[in-house]
């Protein structure tokens, strides 16, 4: 028996590991499906209970909807089906990759979103990078730096968190576009047009992140191993950047995961303020027009985005902290 044990171990170990991995993947896909389905259902319910006349939305500019036209529209969009039937047929469409046709744009929702999505993704990514970079710099330079520095930055961060994005956007436009004429105030052409919206969207996130990061950095800097690192002759830069920073990354990425939802919400406001094309602006007008397929389509995109971001983050945890492997 003792001879067979190592053989058993070698045979059993990879099998168990791959089963664990398969289970984890299956679990994650299951969760993703539930999140997306939940988002669709909740939005569907909310939009339907908003009331209003979908025929009027679809007819759009036509002032007087004739009974014939009404009949046509109802038949084409299946509006006389029961609520449950409409819900099921929409889910069926989603499963086939069909998000329906926009009432107002009169084109497939998938196509309309695909056209606008890159603008928004660019904005989200630059805003996140900006937020993380600001949070890194501020927290690394201010952690454990005396009461005065700390309270000054804490006050600034509280303001940063509290300032509404639309106000910040308007201030940025007033100062840097109209005043200093450094950056354009509208549009999505080129890198320059990305600067102000990214700041408006990223600054509140940066303020939140740097507060949390400083807390974890300070906790780490009080750990016994930091004394060991200093005793090896390491300077402040090595202590903070090589050692403490990585310890704060776990909480930073967790927070980025949560905030990714907020960022999409923020994009709606920021795209509006800067007249920037993107799915944020698209959903804004779709809600006003009661353009249900577009609203639902963007909700699905946001849910998928949220799920992807959080999956990536879950995969990053064990890379950052080997104890989680």
Partner 1 sequence: MTNTVSKLEDAAPLVDVRQLRIAFGEGEKRVEVVHGIDFHIARGECVAIVGESGSGKTVTARSLIGLTGAGAVVTADEIAVGGRSIMALSNKQWRELRGVEVGLVLQDALVSFDPLRTVGKEISEPLELHKTVPSAEIEEKVIELLRQVGVPEPELRMNQYSHQLSGGLRQRALIASAIAANPALIIADEPTTALDVTVQAQVLELLAARKRENTGILLISHDLAVVSQVADRVYVMRYGEFVEDGPTAEVLNNPQHEYTKALLAADPVEHAKGTRLSIQVGETLVQPRAEISSDVVLSATNLVKSFGDRTVVHGVSFDLHRGETIGIVGESGSGKSTTARMALALDEPDSGNVSLDGRPWSGIPERQRLARRPRMQVIYQDPLSSFDPRYSVSQLLGETLARIDHPRSDRKARKLELLDLVGLTSSMLERQPLQMSGGQRQRVAIARALSMRPEIIVCDEAVSALDVSIQAQVLDLLADLQAEFTMSYLFISHHLGVVRHVSDRVLVMKDGWVVEQGDVDDVFEHPQHQYTQELLAAIPRISSVAEAAAAPQQRRTAS
List residues binding partner 1 (CB under 8 A).
144, 223-225, 227-235, 238, 243, 246-247, 320-323
For partner 1, the closer CB: 119 or 220: 220
CB of 237 to partner 1, least distance (A): 11
CB of 310 to partner 1, least distance (A): 22
CB of 227 to partner 1, least distance (A): 6
Structure tokens at 250: 């776990």
For partner 1, the closer CB: 227 or 288: 227
Neighbours of 309 (CB within 10 A): 20
CB of 12 to partner 1, least distance (A): 9
For partner 1, the closer CB: 10 or 231: 231
Contact between residue 143 and residue 214 where contact means Cβ atoms under 8 Å apart = yes
For partner 1, the closer CB: 19 or 76: 19
Structure tokens at 123: 């904005």
Cα of 80 vs its chain's centroid, Å = 36
CB of 259 to partner 1, least distance (A): 24
Of 127, 122, 135, whose CA–CA distance to 262 is shortest? 127
For partner 1, the closer CB: 131 or 313: 313
- For residue 101, the SS3 value is strand
Cα dihedral: 233, 239, 241, 247 (round 10): 140
Q: What stretch of H or E contains 278? A: none
């Amino acid at each position: 028996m003792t001879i067979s044990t190592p053989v058993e171990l070698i045979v059993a170990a990879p099998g168990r590991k791959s089963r664990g991995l398969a289970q984890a993947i299956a679990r994650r896909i299951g969760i993703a499906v539930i999140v997306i389905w939940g988002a669709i259902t909740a939005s569907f319910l909310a939009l339907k209970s908003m009331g209003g006349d979908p025929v009027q939305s679809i007819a759009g500019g036509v002032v007087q909807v004739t009974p014939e036209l009404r009949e046509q529209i109802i038949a084409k969009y299946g509006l006389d089906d029961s609520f449950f039937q409409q819900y099921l047929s929409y889910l069926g469409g989603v499963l086939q990759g069909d998000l329906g046709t926009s009432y107002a744009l009169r084109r497939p929702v998938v196509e309309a979103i695909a056209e606008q999505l890159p603008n928004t993704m660019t904005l989200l990514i630059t805003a996140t990078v900006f937020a993380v970079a600001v949070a890194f710099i501020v927290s690394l330079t201010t952690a454990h730096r005396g009461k005065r520095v700390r309270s000054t930055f804490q006050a600034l961060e509280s303001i940063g968190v509290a300032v509404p994005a639309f106000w910040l956007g308007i201030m940025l436009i007033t100062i840097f576009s109209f005043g200093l004429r450094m950056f354009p105030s509208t549009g999505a052409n080129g890198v320059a047009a990305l600067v102000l919206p990214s700041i408006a969207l990223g600054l509140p996130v940066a303020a939140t992140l740097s507060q949390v990061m400083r807390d974890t950095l300070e906790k780490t800097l009080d750990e016994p191993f930091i004394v060991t690192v200093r005793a090896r002759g390491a300077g402040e830069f090595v202590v903070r950047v090589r050692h403490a920073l990585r310890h704060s990354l776990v909480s930073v990425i967790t927070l980025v995961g949560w905030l990714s939802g907020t960022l999409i919400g923020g994009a709606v406001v920021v795209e509006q303020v800067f007249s920037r094309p993107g799915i944020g602006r698209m959903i804004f007008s779709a809600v006003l027009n009661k353009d249900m397929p577009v609203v639902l389509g963007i909700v699905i995109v946001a849910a998928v985005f949220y799920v992807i971001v959080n999956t990536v983050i879950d995969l990053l945890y064990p890379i950052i902290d080997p104890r989680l492997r």
